Amino acid sequence: MTGTVINIDRVVKRFGTFTALHEVSLDIAENEFFTLLGPSGCGKTTLLRCIAGFEPVSGGQIRLHGEDIAPLPPFKRPVNTVFQHYALFPHMTVLENVMFGLQRLGWSVVDAEGRAKQALELVHLSQFLKRRPGQLSGGQQQRVALARALAPEPKVLLLDEPLSALDLKLRQAVRMELKQIQRETGIAFVFVTHDQEEALTMSDRIAVMSDGHVQQIGAPREIYEAPANRFVADFIGETNLIEVPVLGISDGMAEVSLPGGRALRCPTPLSRAVGQGVLSLRPERIDLCPASEADLTVIATDQVYLGTDIQLKAQLAGGQEMTVRLQNAEATRLPERGTEVGLKLEAGAARLLSA
């Protein structure tokens, strides 16, 4: 059983009259890879900076192992930060860059060298100890920054979009490494990103944020399969949001009337009856079917070949556009533009959310 390392309790952050964080509460467990995910400006970096101590909070408390850390200046907090721009010292070797912080903390040269070497081994850079940052690739430089932040063995490592300066292939490779390093060290990682794929692949849990509010906290699968509201459904993955009349709600299940008139039962986080709701339909969980078995009948309007699958654009009875992703579609099976198509909603395709 792991305990809570960071407890964020109703934290408010104001810049003048603007409120960047509205009573944000969340707990981060020891050993956890925890991600703050949300669009630009939602307050992720601000929350990270409050944890690091670069910004004082305007209200609420941040506790580390139960103790309020407000009185501690950044350098006295047992947390370390890895930034997007890694800011290594160009005139120092890789080893010296990692040793520098330790020596500043009072470590002897011998001890600092031993620990720095361990940290560099962890990030697979042992063969580059004598190189200068300018002689390394972007991904390698970012790993030096990571080793530097991990070396003093902080209780928590804060990572502010550390992969965003890397190209796609490198980013994917470093992602897996980062996750592995987190597991090996057992240090809690608080990772900030606006990239949902990054969040889904690495995190134990994700807090989805928007406009300074936490919208949902959960494991990647939970956030994807059971979004708490319209914002989360739309932000994580792709979805179709369709307004529907709600016939009834009980025990986490809703009955709705689909465009065209068919009734559908689907899960919902709503507990009270509402007249109108929004149905989230995941495009990859919809398939073509004969008209007699169709949940929805649509008119095909366009198709886009994407390699791994084919995106079919279609129009619903009421005129609303929707998208279907056909994974194993053969070109011959695809409906022509303008023809009527039957669609089957597979298990997990639909979820009713509030309008």
Ligand X SMILES: Nc1ncnc2c1ncn2[C@@H]1O[C@H](COP(=O)(O)OP(=O)(O)OP(=O)(O)O)[C@@H](O)[C@H]1O
- Rounded Cα distance, 163 and 171, in Å: 6
DSSP conformation class of 269: S
Q: Which residues contact 246 (CB under 8 A, 6 or more apart)?
A: 254, 255, 256, 273, 274, 275, 276, 277, 352
- Closer to ligand X by CB, 192 or 300: give it: 192
For binding to ligand X (CB under 6 A), which residues are involved? 15, 18, 20, 38, 40-46, 194
**Shortest spacing between CB 49 and ligand X, in angstroms:** 7
Contact 189, 183 (CB under 8 A): no
What is the SS3 assignment for 185?
helix
Closest separation in Å from C-beta 15 to ligand X: 3
Cβ distance to ligand X smaller for residue 24 or 296:
24
The nearer residue to ligand X, 44 or 77, going by C-beta atoms, is 44
Give the integer Cα–Cα distance in Å for 351 and 279. 6
Q: Which residue's CB is nearer to ligand X, number 37 or number 244?
A: 37
Taking the complex as a whole, the smallest distance from the CB of residue 263 to ligand X amounts, in Å, to: 41
Q: Shortest distance, CB of residue 50 to ligand X, whole angstroms? A: 9
CB 44 to ligand X: min, Å = 4
DSSP per residue, 271-313: -S--SEEEEEE-GGGEEEE-GGG-SEEEEEEEEEE-SS-EEEE
Of 10 and 65, CB closest to ligand X = 10
